[in-house]
Structure 1
Amino acid sequence: MVSVQRREFGPGADVTVLLCRHGRTALNAQGVLRGRLDPPLDEVGRAEAEALARALVPWRPRRVLSSPRQRAQQTAAALAKAVGLAVEVDPRLDDRDYGEWAGLPASDLVARFGSVDAAPGVEAVEAVAARARRALLDAAAEALGGTVVLVAHDAVNRALLRALDPSLGDPERLPQPTGCVNVLERSAGQWRVDVVGRVGTGRRQPGP
């Protein structure tokens, strides 16, 4: 199960954001790009969503926001139900748009164009980070002194984490297994990334 210990706010902390990745889908298991495709959670993904919910209940979130993709909404719903909240959908948390290349392995794009980023019609990482950051800031502004949960996607989470803390390095190297959580805290107007890609299961999750 996910293991993330809840702690009291540090000096000057005014909000904590639990940035999560949705549970596994069949397309994750196949190792292909998902993007705006909309598969549901598979059996493993449903179990991951329940485990994530149990781990995050002690944080007593005030809001649970989700990408519009059903894999994210299903993951968010497990937590929202446990804490008596409704899932709020924010389109800015949607997965990266891979255009016509969704459903293909990333390696196919690398072989053809040199990188996923270079493929025509793929949403720029900077655009992903910008919209996700706006969603984060708006959610944080309404959760002062508390905790808010955002459920998004690996590409979104990596871009946002790197935007908040450039010292994390190459976003593609940041672990974001399905059903994971990242803990972000804002103190004195500054964001700090406390936890990256925590699942606590000790097993490797499939999917790029």
Structure 2
Amino acid sequence: MTVGRLIVWRHGRTAWNLQDKIQGQADIPLDEVGIGQARAAAARLAALAPTRLFSSDLQRAAATAGELAVLTGLPIEYDKALREIDVDDWAGLTQAELAARNPEAAARIKAGESQRRGTAGETVEEVAARFAEALTRICVQGEASDTTVIATHGLAARVGICRFLSIPDPHWPAFGGLSNCNWVSLLPSTRTNRWRIEEWNAGSLPEPVMSDDPQR
């Protein structure tokens, strides 16, 4: 049986978000604004009476989940498959620095074409498959009355949800990036035995999207 609702929740702001630095799987903490965002969003999500709480093991997502854990008493279940895209040796570069060092790669990313991040990181398609597999595994761990919250990262969440919903790759750019501490709500359809989007980028619009997901 599948859970009744999946909430996929992006972490709060970090200093690297503010500086337009590519984070990938670098373990960057929330800044003071990010902590405040997580607390405010957690109060809203607690009103949904979540029954299970998952998180990426990177500290910016784990600290975001921690704010909801404090309010609900739920234990945090960590899953490395919920990490952000691996950017390898691009971590710490700004988007401008990446464009100066590797203009061809930056141009392919901007055009929505497949491009491996860093020397030995992941492609968007690879992180989408990894994240979708995690959602598939998590969504069957519960009952129809359950609401499961997943604290994670912007790019991984966007493309992973699209893959999970079987949305063809060329249509992924139609789904905007997630702002810090905003979320996507997914509901199962009893008629089609598939999932659908209830809300996208919910929580605190209009907030700017500062992430490894360079949609413009």
TM-score bracket, normalised by the shorter chain, equals 0.7 to 0.9
> Of residues 184, 187, 196 in structure 2, which corresponds to 1:185?
187
SS state of the match for residue 166, structure 1? coil
In the alignment, the residues of structure 2 paired with residue 78 and residue 155 of structure 1 have an alpha-carbon distance, to the nearest angstrom, of: 22
Instruction: Identify the residue that residue 162 of structure 2 maps to in structure 1.
Output: 162
Instruction: Identify the residue that residue 140 of structure 2 maps to in structure 1.
Output: 141
Instruction: Identify the residue that residue 81 of structure 1 maps to in structure 2.
Output: 70
What amino acid maps onto 2:161 in structure 1?
Answer: L
In the alignment, the residues of structure 2 paired with residue 93 and residue 207 of structure 1 have an alpha-carbon distance, to the nearest angstrom, of: 16
Q: Structure 2: 5+ residue runs without aligned partners?
A: 110-114
Instruction: Identify the residue that residue 175 of structure 1 maps to in structure 2.
Output: 177
Once the two structures are superposed, what CA deviation does each residue of 1:73-117 show, in whole Å capped at 9, x if it has no partner? Answer: 000010011111111100100110000011112344345223342
> Of residues 183, 187, 201 in structure 2, which corresponds to 1:197?
201
Larger CA deviation: 136-145 vs 79-88: 136-145
**2:22 matches 1:22:** no
Judging changes above 3 Å, is the alpha-carbon distance between structure 1 residues 77 and 172 closer, same or farther for their aligned structure 2 residues?
A: farther
Instruction: Identify the residue that residue 61 of structure 1 maps to in structure 2.
Output: 50
In the alignment, the residues of structure 2 paired with residue 202 and residue 139 of structure 1 have an alpha-carbon distance, to the nearest angstrom, of: 30
Judging changes above 3 Å, is the alpha-carbon distance between structure 1 residues 165 and 194 closer, same or farther for their aligned structure 2 residues?
A: farther
Instruction: Identify the residue that residue 122 of structure 2 maps to in structure 1.
Output: 123
Indicate conservation of the 8 Å contact 1:175/1:196, yes or no: no
CA shift, 1:201, in A, is 4.7
What amino acid maps onto 1:22 in structure 2?
Answer: H
- Identical residues among aligned pairs (%): 32
Number of aligned pairs? 197
In the alignment, the residues of structure 2 paired with residue 37 and residue 68 of structure 1 have an alpha-carbon distance, to the nearest angstrom, of: 11
CA shift, 1:138, in A, is 1.6
CA shift, 1:128, in A, is 0.8
Give the TM-score taking structure 2 as reference length. 0.83
Instruction: Identify the residue that residue 112 of structure 2 maps to in structure 1.
Output: none
Superposed CA RMSD in Å reads 2.2
In the alignment, the residues of structure 2 paired with residue 173 and residue 185 of structure 1 have an alpha-carbon distance, to the nearest angstrom, of: 17
Give the TM-score taking structure 1 as reference length. 0.86
In the alignment, the residues of structure 1 paired with residue 39 and residue 205 of structure 2 have an alpha-carbon distance, to the nearest angstrom, of: 13
CA shift, 1:173, in A, is 5.3
Q: Structure 1: 5+ residue runs without aligned partners?
A: 1-12
SS state of the match for residue 133, structure 1? helix
CA shift, 1:118, in A, is 4.6
CA shift, 1:143, in A, is 2.0
In the alignment, the residues of structure 1 paired with residue 89 and residue 99 of structure 2 have an alpha-carbon distance, to the nearest angstrom, of: 15
Please give the residue correspondences for 1:97-116 in structure 2 after superposition, counting only pairs within 5 Å.
Answer: 97-111=86-100, 112=102, 113=105, 114-116=107-109
The runs of at least 4 aligned residues of structure 1 exceeding 4 Å deviation read: none
Indicate conservation of the 8 Å contact 2:116/2:122, yes or no: no
